[in-house]
Amino acid sequence: MPEYRSQANGARVLADLNALRAIGAYKSGVHKPTFSAAHMESLHWLAQRLPEAQLTPTIDGIGNVFGTSKKSGPKILAGSHLESQNFAGWLDGPLGVVYALEAARVINPDSGLGGAVEVAAWCDEEGHFGHFLGSRSYIGDLTEADIDSAKDRTSGRKMREALREVGLADRPRARAELGRHIGYLEAHIEQGDTLESSGLGIGIVTSIVGIWQYRITFTGEQNHAGTTRMGARKDAGLALARLCVAIDERFPDLCSPRTVWTTGRITLDPGAPSIIPGRAEMLFQIRDDDPGVIDRLENALTSIATEIGAKSGCKEDIERLRTGVPGLMDERFQHAIAEASNVFAGGRSLRMPSGAGHDAQILARIMPAGMLFVPSIRGISHHWDENTTDGDIVTGAQVFVDACRRLLAG
Ligand code: GLV
Ligand code: MN
Ligand code: MN
């Protein structure tokens, strides 16, 4: 390996990740919902570290943390997020933030290296209050009305109330300064098992899926479970179960090889064993990086629901809750990650799409963006068992710092 004057300090990266893991620890992972005490402590932890990288810290009016540099020359923006899913893993988010901090600590004080790394921790990537609220705010895609209507999906707490309680209500929201950055680079755990099962160290992300989400409701007739003949029922629960099966039978003929769909929650109303449900609702999600595929699947969903509604004597309703924004990663950024992987990961890298959503797909709407992945042990994520070996974490940090250096050098 060539001698580099400036390299990631692996021990420092691991120590920082473990410090963040200790804040809001839960089993082997963390519990840090957006604007919880543990999340806010993590934001302040980062703000206190940023001066080590010659960055001025700010936390803005939506809970984004920024470290800005006064160094002359080109600037690259790097980061990820610090909140977690409920009772989930320690690396989903913090890995990318700590790599960004490390790149800034290595590159910014080095007067022999032109340019600087600026750091961002985007608020609420995990969607407790909405989706990508922090990064969307930064690119100018979040209105005051969006914030007025946002509520925590678990507790129902209003976002305005949460912002007041954590002391951010009166702060301005930071907006991207066009032309300030040559682009945005984010690192993340893969959250799947492609890298691990292929013995690879680095994923070079080519595209990021869009996420489409729906509330599907059947309304039938609530009635007595003992006295209502089977033929006379309008069972909304049965209609919903039929829909789940029909989706699984029909979608495979219409989807792309990478499309995925998930029923995240089913609610039967009133939900008692002696009562035929009069209402049944499910939250349903589809992911793909091609909106054309989603169009086909949405049309199929509508016609399947109509058929099943008619057969079950129920009225169907499909409400779209979220529209996906797939993101394409910049070719120059992919190339820089590949070159850095050749030096620091023995070329054990793979170009691959991301099946998880990331803030990079939002930033990609206003500047070139790139992402790199490190392996996830057994592909587990959104669970406290989520993990990556220390060796893979350190290799990823070295590749990340070197990719930043290459991009700044043009
Ligand atoms: C992000 O956490 C996702 O669910 O893709
Ligand atoms: Mn994440
Ligand atoms: Mn996540």
Q: What is the pLDDT of residues 387-408, one digit of tens each?
A: 999 999 999 999 999 999 999 9
Using the predicted structure, report yes or no on whether residue 1 has a pLDDT greater than 80.
no
Using the predicted structure, report yes or no on whether residue 2 has a pLDDT greater than 90.
no
Q: If pLDDT is split at 50, 70 and 90, which confidence band does 325 have?
A: confident
Instruction: List, chain by chain if needed, residues with CB within 6 Å of any ligand 1 atom.
Output: 126, 356-357
pLDDT per position as a tens digit, 33-90:
999 999 999 999 999 999 999 999 999 999 999 999 999 999 999 999 999 999 999 9
Q: pLDDT over 90 for what percent of the chain?
A: 97
37-49 and 94-107 are packed helices; what angle lies between their axes, rounded to 10 degrees?
10
Pocket test for ligand 1, best of 91, 122, 126, 285 (most atoms within 8 A of CB): 126
In the reported structure, the alpha carbon of residue 213 is separated from the centroid of ligand 1 by a whole-number distance in angstroms of: 12
Q: What is the pTM of this model?
A: 0.92
The atom of ligand 1 lying closest to the CA of 356 is 5
Pocket test for ligand 1, best of 133, 358, 362, 376 (most atoms within 8 A of CB): 358
pLDDT per position as a tens digit, 12-33:
999 999 999 999 999 999 999 9
3-state secondary structure 170-236: CCCCCCCCCCCCCCEEEEEECCCCHHHHHCCCEEEEEEECEEEEEEEEEECCCEECCCCCHHHCCCH
Q: Are 200 and 375 in contact (CB under 8 A)?
A: yes
* Neighbour count for residue 266 (Cβ, 10 Å): 15
Q: If pLDDT is split at 50, 70 and 90, which confidence band does 180 have?
A: very high
Can you point out the beta strands (E) in 289-388? Answer: 315-322, 327-328, 349-354, 369-374
Q: Name the average pLDDT for the chain.
A: 97
Q: Which residues surround ligand 3, an ion (CB under 5 A)?
A: 92
What is the structure's pLDDT at 5? Answer: 60
Nearest ligand, CA 189: 2
What is the structure's pLDDT at 6? Answer: 74
Pocket test for ligand 1, best of 133, 283, 382, 386 (most atoms within 8 A of CB): 382
Peptide bond into 270 cis (omega under 30): yes
Q: Torsions phi, psi of 10, nearest 5? A: -60, -40
In the reported structure, the alpha carbon of residue 236 is separated from the centroid of ligand 1 by a whole-number distance in angstroms of: 30
pLDDT per position as a tens digit, 216-262:
999 999 999 999 999 999 999 999 999 999 999 999 999 999 999 99
Q: Which helix (H) or strand (E) holds 94?
A: helix 94-107
What is the structure's pLDDT at 11? Answer: 98
What is the structure's pLDDT at 4? Answer: 59
The atom of ligand 1 lying closest to the CA of 209 is 5
In the reported structure, the alpha carbon of residue 282 is separated from the centroid of ligand 1 by a whole-number distance in angstroms of: 19
Report the distance separating Cα 378 and Cα 376, nearest Å.
6
pLDDT per position as a tens digit, 148-175:
999 999 999 999 999 999 999 999 999 9
Q: Are 350 and 194 in contact (CB under 8 A)?
A: yes
What is the structure's pLDDT at 132? Answer: 96
What is the structure's pLDDT at 215? Answer: 97
pLDDT per position as a tens digit, 255-297:
999 999 999 999 999 999 999 999 999 999 999 999 999 999 9
The atom of ligand 1 lying closest to the CA of 287 is 5
In the reported structure, the alpha carbon of residue 93 is separated from the centroid of ligand 2 by a whole-number distance in angstroms of: 4
In the reported structure, the alpha carbon of residue 89 is separated from the centroid of ligand 2 by a whole-number distance in angstroms of: 10
The atom of ligand 1 lying closest to the CA of 355 is 5
Report the distance separating Cα 25 and Cα 31, nearest Å.
6
The atom of ligand 1 lying closest to the CA of 382 is 2
Pocket test for ligand 1, best of 32, 124, 191, 213 (most atoms within 8 A of CB): 191
In the reported structure, the alpha carbon of residue 35 is separated from the centroid of ligand 3 by a whole-number distance in angstroms of: 16
Using the predicted structure, report yes or no on whether residue 319 has a pLDDT greater than 60.
yes
Nearest ligand, CA 132: 1
In the reported structure, the alpha carbon of residue 382 is separated from the centroid of ligand 3 by a whole-number distance in angstroms of: 6
Residue nearest to atom 2 of ligand 1 (CA): 126
The atom of ligand 1 lying closest to the CA of 211 is 5
* CA neighbor of 131 nearest in space, from 322, 315, 268: 322
In the reported structure, the alpha carbon of residue 56 is separated from the centroid of ligand 2 by a whole-number distance in angstroms of: 24
